[in-house]
Amino acid sequence: RVINPTRIPLRVVDQVDWLRTTRDERGMEWKDAPREESLVVVVVEADPRAWRASEQGGGLQVRAFLQHVVVYLRALWLLHVDNRVAVFANVGRNSHFLGQFPMERNVTEEQKESDVQVVLRRLHEAVQAAEDVRPSSGFASAFARALCYVRKARAQGAFQTPRILFLRLSADENAQYVSTMNCIFCAQKQKVVVDACMLGQDDSPFLQQAAYLTGGIYLRLSEPEGLLQYLMMAFVTDLESRKHLRMPKQRAVDFRASCFCHRRPIDVGHVCSVCLSIFCESVAACTTCGAAFLEF
């Protein structure tokens, strides 16, 4: 390739440095291209009952899922030397912090393992510990912990454009509507982009609203066996690169709210004028704030 010497400054001595420089608005001075590191918090579905049901139904196998996630985590780390990736696991009613890349380790045994191996080992231990736990979902708990992690990372003066990626298999629980919506509004206020990748057969209205309100990407995979391709094509790109790419968009969003009395989605209901609680049936007083309703 022929490089015109009149178009480049004398301080640039090779083609690599020339490609890594840009011109300012005046078109006269040259400066290094900005490189902004990114923070990606990945929340994976690790409920053994959900994965057992998926395997029995001929869906994605948990071993293949972990292999896809490992490749995706390494790809995120290789995009920028200063990128940070944190991994949380949604196991039963609880959520577990599995680790981050790069990882600061003080245990001698873990120093012999790679960061990915440490995360996989902790995930396996969390899944085994959840075998005897009552069936439930800690989705809201994992969401809240991911937001706290982002808040702590921002307090250190870095990662101004963080995002959270949910890899979820199970369906939503209407009982967690209030706590989940609080997390969604918190992410919207803190300008944290929420991406979602559904591996099951049903959509997640919670994650649909989260992706819509925060400007993220929501995908429900028609073929979960191709998870790695979806991760590398849609979710590996940073927020700045998405402005120049044609990213998938949601065709429809389920904005239905869940009532506070029976925890079920409704289209029409009664709203408290004091605390904005929603009820599917007419009640004499609000069960949340105690305000009395007038009868007409």
Residue 36 is predicted with a pLDDT of 64
Could you give the C-alpha distances from 168 to 27, 28, 105, 265, 296, in angstroms and in order? 48, 50, 28, 20, 45
Average pLDDT over residues 136-145: 83
DSSP strand pairing (193-198 vs 163-168): parallel
Higher-confidence residue: 121 or 235? 235
Alpha carbon 280 to chain centroid distance? 31
Q: Which two tokens stand for residue 180?
A: 């989940």
For 37, counting Cβ atoms within 10 Å of its Cβ (0-12 exposed, 13-18 middle, 19+ buried), the class is middle
Residue 70 region by backbone torsions, left for phi larger than 0, else alpha for psi between -120 and 50, else beta: alpha
DSSP strand pairing (218-220 vs 193-198): parallel
Residue 89's pLDDT band, with cuts at 50, 70 and 90, is confident
Could you give the C-alpha distances from 231 to 18, 199, 281, in angstroms and in order? 32, 12, 43
pTM of the model: 0.76
Distance (Å, whole) CA 90 – CA 192: 19
Residue 2's pLDDT band, with cuts at 50, 70 and 90, is very low
In the chain, the amino acid numbered 244 is: H
Closest CA to 97 of 40, 145, 134: 145
Residue 130 is predicted with a pLDDT of 61
Residue 134 is predicted with a pLDDT of 53
Condensed to tens digits (0 to 9), the pLDDT of residues 153-179 reads 888 877 778 999 999 988 888 778 888
Residue 132's pLDDT band, with cuts at 50, 70 and 90, is low
Residue 128's pLDDT band, with cuts at 50, 70 and 90, is low
Higher-confidence residue: 31 or 266? 266
Higher-confidence residue: 207 or 101? 207
The Cβ of residue 211 has, within 10 Å, a number of other Cβ atoms equal to 23
E strands of 33-93, at which residues?
39-45, 84-91
**Residue % of the chain over a pLDDT of 90:** 20
Q: Which two tokens stand for residue 241?
A: 């690169």
Closest CA to 86 of 78, 94, 76: 76
Higher-confidence residue: 48 or 205? 205
- Indicate if the pLDDT at residue 112 is higher than 60: no
Of 20-24, 86-90, 273-277, 290-294, which one has max mean pLDDT? 86-90
Residue 292 is predicted with a pLDDT of 85
Condensed to tens digits (0 to 9), the pLDDT of residues 61-85 reads 878 888 888 889 888 878 877 788 8
Q: Given CA atoms 178, 47, 55, 116 in this order, what sign does their dihedral have?
A: positive
- Indicate if the pLDDT at residue 244 is higher than 90: no
Closest CA to 295 of 270, 260, 261, 267: 270
Distance (Å, whole) CA 118 – CA 122: 6
Condensed to tens digits (0 to 9), the pLDDT of residues 196-237 reads 999 888 888 889 999 999 999 999 998 888 899 999 989 998
